[in-house]
Amino acid sequence: MPLKLPRSGPIGIAALVLIALHSGLGWRYERANAQTDAKGSAASALTNAGLVSIESDLQKADNVTGVITATGNVRIVYPDQRVVATARQAQYFSREARIVLKGDVDVIQSDGKSLRAERVTVLLDSKRVVAEPRAGEQVVSTMRLESSSPSPMP
pLDDT, position 10: 32
In a domain, 151, yes or no: no
pLDDT, position 147: 74
Percent of the chain scoring above 70 in pLDDT: 64
Give residue-wise pLDDT tens across range 28-79.
333 333 333 444 444 433 456 678 899 999 999 999 999 999 999 999 998 9
In a domain, 79, yes or no: yes
pLDDT, position 48: 62
Q: Where are the beta strands (DSSP E) in the chain?
A: 16-23, 26-31, 51-55, 58-62, 67-78, 83-93, 98-109, 114-123, 128-132, 140-142
In a domain, 51, yes or no: yes
Single out the residue of 84, 24, 98 nearest to residue 53, CA to CA. 84
Look up residue 15 and give its amino acid.
A
pLDDT, position 153: 62
CATH code of 77's domain? 2.60.450
Higher-pLDDT residue of 91 and 6 is 91
In a domain, 5, yes or no: no
Give residue-wise pLDDT tens across range 116-146.
999 999 998 998 999 999 999 999 999 888 7
Domain boundaries, position 25: 16-34+47-142
In a domain, 9, yes or no: no
pLDDT, position 105: 97
In a domain, 124, yes or no: yes
Q: Out of 11-15, 17-21, 26-30, 87-91, give the one with best mean pLDDT.
A: 87-91
Q: Which residues pair with 82 in a beta bridge?
A: none
Cα dist from 45 to 26, 48, 51, whole Å: 21, 10, 12
pLDDT, position 95: 94
Number of domains within the chain? 1
Long-range contacts (CB closer than 8 Å, 24 or more residues apart) made by 25-30: 25/1, 25/94, 26/1, 26/2, 26/66, 26/94, 26/95, 26/97, 27/3, 27/92, 27/94, 28/1, 28/3, 28/4, 29/4, 29/5, 29/61, 29/68
